[in-house]
Structure 1
């Protein structure tokens, strides 16, 4: 299912899907600025940047409709941002919030490390330099360390490396509690969407149903029901957001 553009927007892309499938978060662009977007049951809500910034993007959303992402100042400083009831709240300057679950746990990145916010306090995940990009309802975290796709079983665990083709790097962008993960793998010549199940890579073409208007898709988020959202190339040559339900 394609997602509607916000009024006045020239493009929009989804980035995250709530665990119950009711909310999709992302960003849109008009002719001047970018703003966060929240889709719910056909309704589209713009998410404004925090005060003192110019643009915003939502990267994660939970089943309560609370979204996280970042705002950008005029000098390109990133500000980790949380939107509750559509209103922006700054979390921390120089950092990006990438995902939030229903317990209110938030993950993200900053200063070259994978980060976790719990009860307003930020800490660093184990494993060294990297980034946290994904979070399941049960607290499984996905991301990358030094170009290698990893998952953390919880905020205190050591990272687990996912399989990669020889000569490739990768990153986890979405994860659920059923052992599924979405992300990307890449090298100097290629950049492909990736799907892992129980740590092993799986083909992604099966996600495009027969007769679909999409000819290519890049999934970006999934939940425990197996629903996915992302962007896809249509037969008419447009990139549009989509929701996939198995």
Structure 2
């Protein structure tokens, strides 16, 4: 036996219930299979409601949506988790929010919903393409590209989105369709903002630098002292721009421009 990990070097060829060294040492990797070696926060795949914490080996940074399923019958029945795993855009604060009961809902956001939100806010307006001054103005607090405040509370209030998350914490995580990173309400606002900015002609590096500049601006209504934009904000900005690339948003804007001639 390897005393460092309390595991046997070889498989017991003659296991007996309650007598096997696997049973006595609880070292069976099949019964105790932890995919990531961290706590997972599970959500119901049907309604997105939070279920609970599992795999309590360490402070966790992974979420999962799915359902429990039972294999076998009677005394041979075994309940297993059948789900997909995802990361958190903010791996520090989002797990804390789940643990303290603030975050209780996972919202699955379809590509159609994302496109509709951007379209309704003017992200596909040809007149705004490559207009940095106009984009900056529309990105200010409470304006139409400030999605976390101007859009998400109105669309997802029933699910737990709040009207000003900095002082009234949101209860929601947003998971875009086909992706594996969930975003809190403020981060998802950054995600949608970046998708908008990229669509309107601004490159990822410009969007990231713009976010840094805004965060360091002492006159900007950020609710904090001037500082560099946080890693989670920057991560959501990248993800949002990549979403616009993946779904050909610039090409769609060009199609709209051609049709409007």
Q: TM-score, normalised by structure 2?
A: 0.23
Of Structure 1 and Structure 2, the greater strand share is in 1
User: Who wins on radius of gyration, i.e. which is larger?
Assistant: 2
Of Structure 1 and Structure 2, the greater helix share is in 2
